[in-house]
Amino acid sequence: MFSYRHAFHAGNHADVLKHATLVAVLQHLTLKEGALSVVDTHAGAGLYKLDSNSATTSAEAEFGIKALLAHISKHGKASAPALLSAYVGMLRQFNGGKDIKMYPGSPIIAAELLRTQDRVMAFEVHPTDHRLLRTTLEQATSRAKLLMDRKDGFEGIRSLLPPVSRRGLVVCDPSYELKTDYAEVLNMTVEALRRFATGSMLIWYPLVGRPEAHDLPRKLKNAVAKAGKSWLHATLQVRAGAAGQGTGGGLGASGVFVVNPPHTLKAQMQEALPYLVEALGQDTHAAFKLESHGN
Ligand code: SAM
């Protein structure tokens, strides 16, 4: 049985990096009229209360979204790069223009930004989070069609590619509780590129002291380049030290890897990442990395 619950981590620095990137990718993909299909292989519960016991116990959002909001408020809205303004704007709108108390996870961010012609297919295996996700999706006011399944996302995606619409985004955000998740992510990417070479993918991974974590981006770069496709890779480190150390608790660094990224994404990230280092950095080890190929 898996023990990971995203409620303890919602709105942390890793979510900020992942979800700000997701918003930018979705905003670009929805510029074209054609229907878009989003597959979220590891969806989580969908919606998180930032004042819940889980969130306040871990206090990870304090060093993530709350630190970003405080930084923007201190330096003025005009100081925030476009990619981060769009992300924060989406969160504010989701909270009815008021304080950000409810934090939407990846399937709900997609549900918010998609249109009538679009659809989201979300996979979540944890029994409690699956139940919560079902309720959240049922109550969502999205214009898009929202579907879910309590199935292994690595397995479930197989029958969904290529989407009928031939326009799609795969969001792959495992908890990496199993060491095998790293190999599964790579295999899924290779298979997805084989079935749907023009689709975009957003993969998140933790930068922890496991060789698999450091090998994953290298292997992804090779696989995507071999398929003749473009990629973008960004990492955000907020402090030195391994997971569980330091004032911010939890993870110290993570990365996003985007396959077939929008051509606008690199410039947006180039502007946003130094701002995130300033806003979320906890010590002098705070840093970012941005690299891309074929875009
Ligand atoms: N993507 C979510 C977001 O950004 O809001 C957070 C997802 S969380 C990092 C990872 C989730 O994957 C957990 O809720 C876990 O229960 C679920 N999970 C783990 N293995 C899975 C699998 N093989 N298929 C589908 N879900 C899985």
| Catalytic residue numbers, as ranges | 173
Q: Is the pLDDT of residue 173 over 90?
A: yes
Phi, psi for 105 (deg, rounded to 5): -85, 180
- The pLDDT of residue 249: 58
- The pLDDT of residue 245: 47
d(CA 282, CA 167): 39
Indicate the pLDDT class of residue 295, thresholds 50, 70 and 90.
confident
Q: Which two tokens stand for residue 75?
A: 């330096």
* Closest residue CA from atom 13 of ligand 1: 44
Mean pLDDT, range 6-26, rounded to an integer: 97
**246 close to ligand 1 (CB < 6 Angstrom):** no
How far apart are the CA of 15 and the centre of ligand 1, in A? 13
Q: Is the pLDDT of residue 267 over 80?
A: yes
d(CA 113, CA 9): 22
Q: Is the pLDDT of residue 243 over 90?
A: no
Contacts of 74 (CB under 8 A, 6+ apart): none
**118 close to ligand 1 (CB < 6 Angstrom):** no
Q: Is the pLDDT of residue 242 over 90?
A: no
What domains sit in the chain, N to C, each tagged with a CATH number? 6-293 (3.40.50.150)
Query: Tens digits of per-residue pLDDT, 56-100?
Result: 999 999 999 999 999 999 999 999 999 999 999 999 999 999 999
Query: Tens digits of per-residue pLDDT, 103-123?
Result: 999 999 999 999 999 999 999
- The pLDDT of residue 244: 45
Length of the chain equals 295
Mean pLDDT, range 126-147, rounded to an integer: 96
- The pLDDT of residue 204: 98
Mean of all residue pLDDT scores within the chain: 95
Least confident residue range of 230-234, 238-242, 261-265: 238-242
Choose one of 3, 6, 22, 256 to mutate for the ligand 1 pocket test, by most ligand atoms within 8 angstroms of C-beta: 6
- High-pLDDT (> 90) share of the chain, %: 95
**6 close to ligand 1 (CB < 6 Angstrom):** yes
- The pLDDT of residue 1: 61
Contact indicator for 29, 167 with CB cutoff of 8 Å? yes
Closest CA to 18 of 137, 106, 122: 106
* Closest residue CA from atom 5 of ligand 1: 105
d(CA 81, CA 104): 21
Indicate the pLDDT class of residue 2, thresholds 50, 70 and 90.
confident
Residue 123 alpha carbon, nearest atom of ligand 1 = 25
**149 close to ligand 1 (CB < 6 Angstrom):** no
Mean pLDDT, range 209-224, rounded to an integer: 96
Q: Is the pLDDT of residue 254 over 80?
A: yes
Q: Is the pLDDT of residue 248 over 80?
A: no
